[in-house]
Structure 1
């Protein structure tokens, strides 16, 4: 089944979307994981304070990222890893917001990415009491992972989308989005162009 995409998950230092401190990425080809990466990120000032709440959730401390590269170093690596893939994330609005806001915080243009939300796909695929990542992952047969570890969460997200594609007999991500009636979103200049195409030149003013 030629289901190709890159799953992604971020952890942040605090409530700011510009405080990315960890990212996990997983490349899927033909419905199988073929590559994975995890990077610590040094959050940019003034978004670099770590809240006790966030540390309690993901276990990442300031010392763990003190010598890590910043987002300006990681973004080119992410773009190379993902290539032209659609990014998939659970509650994708959060993760795409992290990419956008952290990029702006370090003075970079928001990159072009198309994305699909596995949370929305899950709501159209499974009948569950909760659609939190661990619950949906279990429904997809992916269990016993370390939730809030960015790489483990990205792997869980990938498993959900692959399983959902099989259930819906979708042979690619666009078909899965169509069947589940979940819109493929976009960020960066491509999002501006697509918005202009839908709403006309006034959308750019």
Structure 2
């Protein structure tokens, strides 16, 4: 097992947000906006986008995080080497995912949790590429999620020297958190998006994107990988 959200969590869904949020960012007090979306963060075993080894999710309803989930993932075969640089970043090792379900099983849990929500991620290009490439590696259909990038929204909302997640989260009023913990990162991303909407005076992710001049994009699946004889 690996550490996500301050708890040792197996590769199965754990529905206890109070425990999962122990190391997650804590939002500042302020006005609430009626905003609905799901924030997502992946960690990978190596430089391959298909090497998903953990995912964190935070569901937002009416401008509040109302549910969270975090799972370990056994990366697809051929993408399952744990590079020391990645392990040094997130602390997840190959031994942590030995008993974790693989991508196909965890993708089903992910889509069940996120439903038809717009996804939001900090540097969304990376996280959406993980979805695409892991699906290509396993032959799963890639869900055609619409998504927003909180880095892009942050650049239009705050004036900072850097738009790394911890710095933006602090500007949004969040408490310090365990960066590169998939759940904590997802919750921080959610709170940044909520703060951007609050400052913009909008209550819908599409209205927020329009107000800030950023694009709501849609995932385009990649061709499935060919099996090696």
TM-score (structure 1 length as normaliser): 0.91
Aligned positions, number? 190
Aligned to 1:93: 125
The higher-RCO structure (CA 8 Å, 6+ apart) is: 2
Partner of 2:111, secondary structure, is helix
Partner of 1:124, secondary structure, is helix
Cα deviation, residue 143, structure 1? 2.1
Aligned to 2:30: none
Gaps of 5+ in 2: 1-32, 222-229
Measured in 2, the distance between the counterparts of 1:170 and 1:35 equals 22
Q: Which stretches of structure 1, 4 residues or more, deviate above 4 A after TM superposition?
A: none
Partner of 2:58, secondary structure, is strand
Q: Is the 8 A contact 1:134 1:143 kept in 2?
A: no
Within a 5 Å distance, the mapping from 1:142-181 to structure 2 comes to 142-181=174-213
Q: Does 1:110 find its partner at 2:142?
A: yes
TM-score (structure 2 length as normaliser): 0.81
Cα deviation, residue 109, structure 1? 1.6
Measured in 1, the distance between the counterparts of 2:220 and 2:68 equals 24
Aligned to 2:72: 40
Measured in 2, the distance between the counterparts of 1:83 and 1:2 equals 18
Give the helix-richer structure, 1 or 2: 1
Q: Is the 8 A contact 1:42 1:66 kept in 2?
A: yes
Aligned to 1:11: 43
Measured in 1, the distance between the counterparts of 2:216 and 2:104 equals 26
Gaps of 5+ in 1: 190-205
